[in-house]
Chains A and B, each alone.
Chain A
Amino acid sequence: MENERLLVIFPHPDDEAFSSAGTIMQHAETKGPVTYVCLTLGEMGRNMGRPIFTNREELPHIRKQEMIEAAKRMMIEDLQLWGLRDKTVEFEDEALLAGRFRDLIRELRPSRVISFYPGYAVHPDHEATARAVVRSLRSIDAEERPEFLAVAFANNTRDDLGPAHVVNDVSAYTDRKIAALEAHASQTGGLLKAIEEDPHLRDLLVNERYYHYPL
């Protein structure tokens, strides 16, 4: 096995599983270790389980345990929970956050970074994370810069950006991707019904799509 590291940076527990569980597992099995920096605990999520099994104050504890279990299922070796608060990433100091990303990239020397695509990431925390990741990558010399795979899922993504630049066939990992999603139980109750109803989600179980953001 090669020894390339994958660095995944998202703001919420479950962002990684929905967008990239297959790619993460494939990397862990064939290329090398995976680090996941999860900025918040998703403590402001509005799903409390179906049926309800938690509440606003208990949710961060539950989601932390879910994240640890999901990371195990996805073979994420290095899970880093940075302790920002859900919904507030865009109000933090972007330069400071980008600096922390840059320091981590210099320390870990990943061959690839996965995060969101600025402008097409829908949730304000996603957008703020994407901007800080781009800023950190731009501060690194091009020859040392890891490949950046950006997740875009705004409704106008395809119209504006065209088809994805990288389409990763993860059909060999579909069952394990579902298992990773199910580990985030407070947020993915009713998952099987959602898979039935949502063509985007069905596609995500077999194809994980990424764009190269111009750096």
Chain B
Amino acid sequence: MQPIEIPVIQSYIDDHAGKPLYIHVETTNGAYATHRDPSFHNAGMFLRNAVITYERGVITGVGPYRIGLKLDHGWLYGEGLTDYEFAGEQLLIAGHDLEGRLAIAFELSPAPFAQGAQEVE
């Protein structure tokens, strides 16, 4: 992955406005956060292969960055974004902490993300 460049991301967001996109979005502190520090409240979520359509979307901030996609009936929001990479038509955006661990994933794709055992055959 490489550090986020706003114009590259914004251009992808603009190009895909109004078209259905599959998303993988996720936040995580790792499964062991509370094991290592009992005072830490661990929380996280992921949503894989939901389909969204947005009318407008913006990436902003000075790094780490934020993205807001204005959906037909709501919003998709992510913060703490630092790096990106294209994989074919997929735009993979991630936020890594100072030790390089994933804290958030925010991924968009015109086709479903790989799912299940067959994805690594």
Q: Classify chain B: how many residues form its interface, as a range.
A: 20 to 34
Tell me if A154 and B92 are in contact (CB < 8 A): no
> Which of A47, A56, A85 lies in contact with B116, CB distance below 8 A?
A85
Q: Closest approach, in angstroms, between the C-beta of B43 and any C-beta of chain A?
A: 13
Given known contacts A56-B92, A56-B107, A87-B46, A48 and B116 CB-to-CB distance under 8 angstroms: no
Task: Quote the shortest CB–CB distance from B9 to chain A (angstroms).
Answer: 15
**Residues of A close to B85: CB separation below 8 A:** 55
> What chain B residues lie within 8 Å of A55 (beta carbons)?
1, 85, 87, 92, 94
| Contact A57/B99 with A123-B32, A154-B35 known, Cβ cut-off 8 Å | no
Interface residues of A in 74-111 (CB under 8 A from B): 81-83, 85, 87
Counting chain A residues whose Cβ lies within 8 A of the other chain, the interface size class is 20 to 34
What residues of chain B lie closer than 8 Å to A195, measured between beta carbons?
none
Task: Using known A-B contacts A46-B103, A55-B1, determine if residue A61 contacts B26 with beta carbons closer than 8 Å.
Answer: no
Contact yes or no, B100 A48, CB < 8 A: yes
Given contacts A55-B1, A57-B90, A57-B113, contact A46 B120 (CB under 8 A): no
Q: Report A's interface with B, CB cutoff 8 A.
A: 41, 44, 46-52, 55-58, 60-61, 64, 81-83, 85, 87, 122-125, 154-155
* Chain B residues with a Cβ under 8 A of chain A: 1, 24, 26, 28, 30-32, 35, 38, 46, 83, 85, 87, 90, 92, 94, 96, 99-103, 105, 107, 113-120
14 contacts between A and B (CB under 8 A): A44-B26, A46-B30, A46-B102, A46-B103, A49-B100, A51-B100, A55-B1, A55-B85, A55-B94, A61-B120, A64-B120, A82-B117, A154-B35, A155-B38
